[in-house]
Amino acid sequence: MRTLFRNMTRERMAVCTVAAALAIGSSGCKREPDSTLTLNAEVLHAYDDAMLNEMDLELEQRLLQNGVLNGNYQSVGSATTNEMGVAAFLFDRSNALDYRINLVEEDWFEHSELINPDDFIGTNEVNLSIAATPRGTVHIQLINAAPVDDSDQIQFRLLTSESEYPTCSNAWESHTGMDVNAERTCDIEADRYLPYRHIVFKNGGELETTDSIWVPRGILTELVIPW
Please indicate, yes or no, if residue 180 is contained in any of the structural domains: yes
Residue 177 in this model has a pLDDT that exceeds 90: yes
End residue of a domain, out of 105, 132, 159: 132
Confirm whether 199 is domain-assigned: yes
* Domain shared by 124 and 185, yes or no: no
What mean pLDDT, rounded, does the chain reach? 87
Q: Is 179 part of any domain?
A: yes
pLDDT at 34: 64
Q: Do 48 and 125 reside in the same domain of the chain?
A: yes
20-34, 35-49, 176-190: the lowest-pLDDT one: 20-34
Q: Work out the pLDDT band at 68, boundaries 50, 70, 90.
A: confident
Is this model's pTM higher than 0.85 or not?
A: no
Q: How far is CA 206 from the centre of its chain?
A: 44
- Tell me, yes or no, whether 119 and 147 share the same domain: no
Residue 170 belongs to what domain range? 135-226
